Amino acid sequence: MKRFLLALLLIALPLAAQEEKKPEAKPAPPNIQKLFMLKYADAQSLGNLLTVFHANIRPNQDMRALAVDASPEAMAGIEDAIKRLDVPAAAPTNVDMTVYLVVGHEVESPADSAALPKDLDSVVTQLKNAFAFKAYSLLDVLALRTRTGQQASTSSSGGSVQIPGGSSQPVTTAFRIRSASIGSDGSTVRVDSLNANIKMPTLTGGSSFAYQDLGISTDLDIKEGQKVVVGRLGISRDQALFLVMTVKIVP
């Protein structure tokens, strides 16, 4: 028994010595306080973004300043982020948009139809491959210039529909977007919340007609110069309306 206790004592002594040799934990370095004066960035928005560094950040909108209390490691990251983000914003770019209202017909050549421009030939070929309509005509064209990051809208009543036994009735179109932006490739335009609302006169019997509300709401990515079919809207059993759009970036 004595030998057993002696063995345990001999084992415990080195372990105790190791525990005594463990260095004490060093205290964390004190936080650093700095005041950053901003030139371009919004203080509140930048302050919200910098909370990812787990620092105490107080923005002042009026003075365009950030008061920061952070650890040395966090402060280094914050300083680098401010250098990268407090820069002049890119100048807005103009974007020209053209929207064509194209009608597909079951009959070969509607008497009241307007011919399509030549630059839409490729679109007509695409539509003929996808749909069974025999002919396509141009109803109206809308042109809109906007700047990146801004809302824009336009309207038109240039199109019209001939009512059999009656008069020609106007087609009214309201077109708007929430914003447009340029992609990283410099040639793709991102259109957010595109909305098109069309009031189309349709026959209800004989020479009587009523206005039908047609609409499209979507987001869209479109390359400069590309002609994109945004959507298809049914007018009647033998007609459909297609929205075709193209964009041009204007420096």
In tens, the pLDDT along 67-116 reads: 999 999 999 999 999 999 998 877 789 999 999 999 999 887 665 567 78
| pLDDT tens digits along 191-249 | 999 999 999 988 777 778 889 999 999 999 999 989 999 999 998 888 999 999 999 99
CATH number for the domain formed by residue range(s) 28-89: 3.30.1370.120
From first CA to last CA, the distance across the chain in angstroms is 95
In the prediction, which pLDDT does 12 show?
54
Instruction: Judge whether 149 and 189 are in contact, CB under 8 Å.
Output: no
8-12-14-17 Cα dihedral, nearest 10 degrees: -160
Backbone angles phi, psi at 84, to 5 degrees: -80, -30
216-218-224-229 Cα dihedral, nearest 10 degrees: -40
The domain spans of the chain are 28-89, 94-250
Q: Is residue 239 classed as helix, strand or coil in its secondary structure?
A: strand
DSSP string, 131-167: ---SEEEEEEEEEEEEETT--EEEEEEEEEEEPTTS-
In this structure, are strands 188-205 and 208-223 parallel, antiparallel, or unpaired? antiparallel
Task: For helices 43-50 and 72-85, give the axis angle rounded to 10 degrees.
Answer: 140
Q: Which residues pair with 197 in a beta bridge?
A: 174, 215
pTM of the model: 0.66
Q: Where are the alpha helices (DSSP H) in the chain?
A: 2-21, 43-50, 72-85, 121-130
